[in-house]
Amino acid sequence: MAPRNNPLKLNNLQLKTLTLVQEIARDPDYAETDEASGGPVIKGLPHAHGNHLHLGAYVVAGKDATGLHNPAVWTALERKGLVRQQPSGGVLVTEAGMAYETGLRDQILHGSDH
């Protein structure tokens, strides 16, 4: 379900993906700080284990992570100024991307029990 305030009119898949991108950007296993901008650059993505993936202390259902490997979703997020491809590889999550309230964090990031 989309948040009440969704100024960029992201669709549900884009919102889910951005929620995961924000969390991936906070995880030093997958991201590092860009020296020029100070923003997080995602260098890799978590891998699914069956029907879920682990992201830090969270477990994410595979069905909620399909956008991570969908080029059209990444293109839309970049077009809306939330992420930016880096010439050296990786994806910079912009300040706007980190601050965007998706309203889905509690719905798709589940506390890990293993």
Please, what are the domains in the chain?
12-111 (1.10.10)
pTM: 0.92
- Span 82-112, pLDDT tens digits: 999 998 889 999 999 999 999 999 999 998 6
pLDDT at site 48: 86
The mean pLDDT value for 66-70 works out to: 95
HSE-up of 105 (CA within 13 Å, CB side)? 10
